[in-house]
């Protein structure tokens, strides 16, 4: 048989057969005078075994191992491992599908896919065009990906529903062009801190300061006066969280 014939017989491509030669899985057969490979029935039988094993999901080097020790004992062992592997993959797949279903079930945030808990919180929040409010929500989305906790969201719920919070955001917006020593900074920071429900501090998982660069980048994201407010609010909050421990 020529290579195309043996390949068609066992149901694979000639390229695959050549590949098996290349990696030493199948010995090179004799050649005809014109250089064509001349396959025997034995080669075809071997190829058929290779095909069945690869179709089960074995890698080519696993196939080589199985073919090497002719004993069926090793085959059973490898197949056992393979089944465990497939079971694991199946679980992962099912898990991803569950995540997907949860995403498709709820409303799709325009900030991308988020956890259903956060999506619910964002949906409950008062609608506003305030730029700082939008930024704040982006930060929530960011933390959501970094393992945001449903308890924090629950604790934030009353804050999100409070219509008064919109006014606070708007006062923050007004500081966009203000200098870093604007007199409105102090009072606004104090009011913001006071607005945060006490339960939030208990819910936030406190795992030590992560990286100094992150806080700096957060502040760099705001114009000077706003950054100063944010700095004060964060300082007050971390201080209060440190008290708790």
Partner DNA sequence: CTTGACCTTGTCGTGGCGTCAAGGTTTCTA
Partner DNA sequence: TAGAAACCTTGACGCCACGACAAGGTCAAG
| Measured distance CA(126)–CA(135) in Å, rounded | 15
Helices and strands of the chain, counted as H and E runs: 13, 0
- Please report whether residue 146 would count as binding a copy of itself according to CB under 8 A: yes
- Residue from the set 27, 30, 33, 207 that interacts with DNA by CB under 7 A: 33
| Measured distance CA(202)–CA(98) in Å, rounded | 30
Spatial CA neighbour of 240 closest among 203, 212, 213 = 203
Is there a contact between 16 and 22 (Cβ–Cβ < 8 Å)?
no
Build a one-symbol-per-residue string for 219-238: x at contacts with a copy of itself by CB under 8 A, - elsewhere: -xx-----------------
Judged by beta carbon distances under 5 to 8 A according to partner kind, the member of a copy of itself, DNA, none in contact with residue 202 is none
Is there a contact between 101 and 88 (Cβ–Cβ < 8 Å)?
no
Is there a contact between 122 and 156 (Cβ–Cβ < 8 Å)?
no
Q: How far is the CB of 169 from a copy of itself (least distance, A)?
A: 17
| Measured distance CA(92)–CA(219) in Å, rounded | 38
- Please report whether residue 2 would count as binding DNA according to CB under 7 A: yes
Residue 171 burial (CB count, 10 A): 17
Q: How far is the CB of 198 from a copy of itself (least distance, A)?
A: 27
Q: How far is the CB of 79 from DNA (least distance, A)?
A: 15
The residues binding DNA (CB under 7 A) are 2-5, 12-16, 18-19, 33-37, 54, 59-61
The residues binding a copy of itself (CB under 8 A) are 1-2, 5-6, 8-11, 39-42, 44-45, 48-49, 51-53, 55-57, 70, 72, 75-76, 79-80, 82-83, 86-87, 89-90, 93-94, 96-97, 99-101, 103-104, 108-114, 138-139, 141-142, 144-147, 210-211, 213-214, 216-218, 220-221
């Amino acid at each position: 048989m020529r290579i195309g014939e043996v390949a068609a017989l066992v149901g694979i491509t000639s390229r695959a057969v050549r590949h098996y030669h290349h990696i030493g899985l199948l010995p090179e057969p004799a050649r005809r005078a014109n250089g064509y490979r001349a396959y025997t029935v034995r080669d075809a039988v071997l190829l058929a075994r290779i095909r069945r094993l690869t179709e089960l999901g074995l890698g080519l080097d696993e196939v080589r191992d199985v073919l090497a020790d002719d004993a069926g004992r090793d085959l059973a062992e490898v197949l056992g491992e393979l089944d465990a592997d497939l079971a694991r993959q199946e679980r992962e797949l099912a898990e991803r599908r569950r995540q997907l279903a949860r995403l498709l079930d709820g409303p799709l945030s325009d900030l991308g896919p988020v956890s259903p808990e956060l999506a619910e919180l964002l949906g409950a929040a008062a609608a506003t065009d305030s730029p700082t409010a939008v930024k704040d929500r982006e930060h929530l989305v960011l933390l959501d990906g970094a393992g945001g906790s449903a308890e924090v969201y629950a604790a934030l719920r009353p804050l999100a529903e409070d219509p008064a919070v919109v006014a606070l955001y708007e006062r923050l917006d007004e500081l966009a062009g203000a200098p870093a020593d604007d007199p409105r900074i102090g009072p606004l920071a104090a009011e913001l801190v006071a607005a945060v429900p006490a339960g939030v501090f208990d819910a936030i998982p406190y795992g030590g300061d992560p990286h100094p660069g992150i806080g700096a980048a957060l502040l760099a994201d705001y114009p000077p006066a706003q950054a100063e407010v944010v700095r004060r609010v964060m300082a007050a909050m971390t201080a209060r969280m440190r008290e708790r421990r």
